[in-house]
């Protein structure tokens, strides 16, 4: 009797890749290692994922969705910020990988659900439209991310860890409260450029794009990869 295809194989491969990354970070994630952890062969892994970068992209997307799922269960901006920090400290390897080259394709053009949720919570508190608060949200995220990375890479523990965590929370509240008082008018440097767009998938950009640029190529590659995966999923028995 011919061997039946495993409909859960791709999911099992991704689960294995996520486990390996969570345990050991970048050095632990190899195509052979993923195959062994998933109970399959290396050629089979290559059939589902073109290369290691393809798996990394899938792991990054999974981590983003898990972070978003945690944040979605909160009820306010301060709860969401606290949850964000807790997630980063609980999943340090996965969190670090989320923001490697975050402003470059393809990561720039992937969904940023957590950034958008936090920006929406900020909008609910301050009023207006979400895009109006992108600069402020970037400030808050920079504070959270900087604190998370100091705690993770600094090996901080005990009372200092607690104090740094809540010092960040105090700073976040102070920034938001100041923005509320000044109605967002007190800011330094140039105005936010209309062409600087974050968290909006294929519309995201950090600079002017020219035909054939890396950004446009990344968008086309992302679309093509999505189509290939959708087509492959439909054709599988």
Stated pTM of the model: 0.77
Is residue 85 located within the same domain as residue 187? yes
Backbone angles phi, psi at 205, to 5 degrees: -160, 150
Mean pLDDT confidence for 171-181: 95
Q: Considering the chain, what percentage of its residues have pLDDT values greater than 90?
A: 43
Read off the pLDDT of residues 119-164 as tens digits, 9 standing for 90 and up: 999 999 999 999 999 999 999 999 999 999 999 999 999 999 999 9
Domain-located, residue 56: no
Q: Which domain holds residue 14?
A: 1-49
- Asked if residue 39 lies in contact with residue 12, where contact means CB atoms within 8 angstroms, the answer is yes
Helical residues (DSSP H) of 73-188, grouped into ranges: 77-90, 92-98, 113-126, 134-153, 158-182
CB-CB contact of 196 with 206 (8 Å): yes
- Total structural domains in the chain? 2
Q: Does one domain contain both 149 and 113? A: yes
Same domain, 174 and 197: yes
Q: Give the model's pLDDT for residue 233.
A: 44
- Residue 188's pLDDT band, with cuts at 50, 70 and 90, is confident
Residue 55 within a domain: no
Can you tell me the mean pLDDT for 57-77? 91
Model confidence at 185: pLDDT above 50 = yes
Higher pLDDT, 77 or 183: 77
Answer whether residue 16 is part of any domain.
yes
Per residue in 209-230, pLDDT (tens digit) is 443 444 444 444 444 544 454 4
Could you tell me which residue, 189 or 224, shows the higher pLDDT? Answer: 189
* Per-residue tokens: 20: 């390996």
**For the domain that residue 42 is a member of, what is the CATH number?**
1.10.10.60
DSSP state of 107: G
Question: pLDDT tens digit string along 99-125?
Answer: 878 888 888 888 899 999 999 999 999
Q: What is the mean pLDDT of the chain?
A: 84
Spatial CA neighbour of 170 closest among 72, 74, 78: 78
Q: Assess if residue 59 is contained within a domain.
A: no
Q: What is the mean pLDDT of residues 183-210?
A: 82
**C-alpha Rg value of the chain to the nearest Å:** 20
pLDDT over 70 percentage in the chain? 84
Residues 24 and 121 in one domain: no
Higher pLDDT, 208 or 7: 7
Domain membership of residue 54 (yes or no) is no
The average pLDDT across 153-176 equals 96
Task: Answer whether residue 90 is part of any domain.
Answer: yes
The reported pLDDT for the residue numbered 28 is: 80
112 and 147 share one domain: yes
Give the position of tokens 């508190």: 125
**Is 58 among the domain residues?**
no
């Amino acid at each position: 009797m011919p061997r039946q295809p495993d409909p859960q194989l791709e999911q099992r491969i991704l689960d294995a890749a996520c486990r390996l990354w969570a345990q050991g970070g970048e050095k632990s994630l190899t195509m052979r290692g993923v195959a062994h952890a998933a109970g399959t062969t290396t050629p089979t892994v290559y059939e589902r994922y073109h290369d290691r970068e393809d798996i990394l992209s899938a792991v990054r997307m999974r981590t983003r969705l898990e972070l978003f799922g945690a944040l979605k269960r909160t009820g306010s901006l301060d709860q969401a910020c606290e949850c964000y920090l807790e997630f980063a400290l609980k999943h340090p390897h996965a969190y670090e990988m989320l923001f490697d080259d975050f402003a470059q394709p393809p990561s720039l053009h992937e969904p940023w659900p957590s950034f958008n949720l936090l920006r929406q919570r900020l909008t609910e508190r301050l009023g207006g439209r979400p895009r109006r608060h992108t600069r402020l949200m970037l400030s808050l995220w920079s504070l959270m991310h900087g604190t998370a990375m100091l705690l993770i890479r600094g090996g901080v523990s005990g009372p200092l860890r607690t104090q740094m965590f809540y010092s960040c929370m105090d700073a976040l509240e102070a920034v938001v409260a100041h923005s509320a008082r000044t109605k967002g008018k007190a800011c330094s440097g140039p105005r936010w450029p209309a062409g600087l767009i974050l968290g909006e998938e294929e519309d995201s950009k950090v600079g002017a794009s020219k035909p054939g640029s890396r950004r446009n190529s990344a968008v086309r590659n992302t679309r093509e990869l999505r189509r290939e995966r959708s087509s492959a999923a439909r054709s599988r028995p």
